[in-house]
Structure formats: C-alpha cells, structure tokens
Amino acid sequence: MRLPHIFIIEGIPGSGKNTLTTTLVELLHKDARPVYHYPEEALGFSYTHWYWPGITKARLSLMESALDFVEEESRRHLGAVFVFNRFHLSLCISLNESSPDAGVQERFSRIIDRLRLLNVLVLLLQLEKWKIA
C-alpha cells in the first residue's frame, strides 16, 4: 500500500488531534522525507477569526493556496508528505447555513474535488462517551 502524501486530521476539541499530529510528523520525519505540517490556524480557522468580515472567502483562498503548494511540492519532491491538523472539511455545513453566495459553495466544492484527485487519508478522531462530561 502506498503511503498517503496528505494526512488530514479532523475532530472535535480534546479528541487528540494535536497529539496524533505530533506523533505522525515525528514518525514521518524518520523516513528522511520532506514533511510539511500545518495547524488549523495556518488556514485561518482559529476561533478568533470566526466573526471577521469576509473570513470565509479568505479561508477558501488559503485552502486553494495550500493545495497549489501541495501539488507543486509533490511534483518537485515525490516523497513529500503534508499533514494538516484540521482542513475543515465540514466547512460546507456552515457554508450552507451562513452563506447564500453560490460562488462560495462552488469554490469549496472545487477544493473537495481537488482533494479527491490526491492521495489523501482523512483521520476523524472521536471521543468516547465517558470522556465527554
């Protein structure tokens, strides 16, 4: 099985995303390959940005730029690996609720289509019921 060259780690706060990301990046670095790691803030998804005017379009631009970089670096370094601690694949849910702008929704759909063409592994972390209290 070929190693994915993009890992997207998703999950609710406290589910272990940071721990898994740190461990994964450390393991991938042992193979002496280029490893690029991006926290969710790199794509403008900090909770502090939530109410900024125009933030959704800015986030989409950052996501598109990130994929441009992934595609370019993947051509230059065949073994390159990219780890995103949140790519916010669920953004479409909030887009449907908050943005009547069809252009924004179309941009997000194109981002998802681009991801489908890449070798991506999405890890969705969950909490056990006993951990939620």
User: 20-64: per-residue pLDDT in tens?
Assistant: 999 999 999 887 789 999 988 887 777 677 677 888 888 889 899
**CA-CA distances (angstroms) from residue 46 to 8, 60, 99?**
16, 14, 19
The per-residue pLDDT for 1 is 46
Q: pTM score, two decimals?
A: 0.83
* Centroid of chain to Cα 65: 12
Over 50: is that where the pLDDT of 76 sits?
yes
Residue whose C-alpha is closest to residue 35's, from 2, 84, 72, 71: 84
Parse the chain into domains and list their residue ranges: 6-131
For the 6-131 domain, the top CATH level (class) is alpha beta
The per-residue pLDDT for 130 is 60
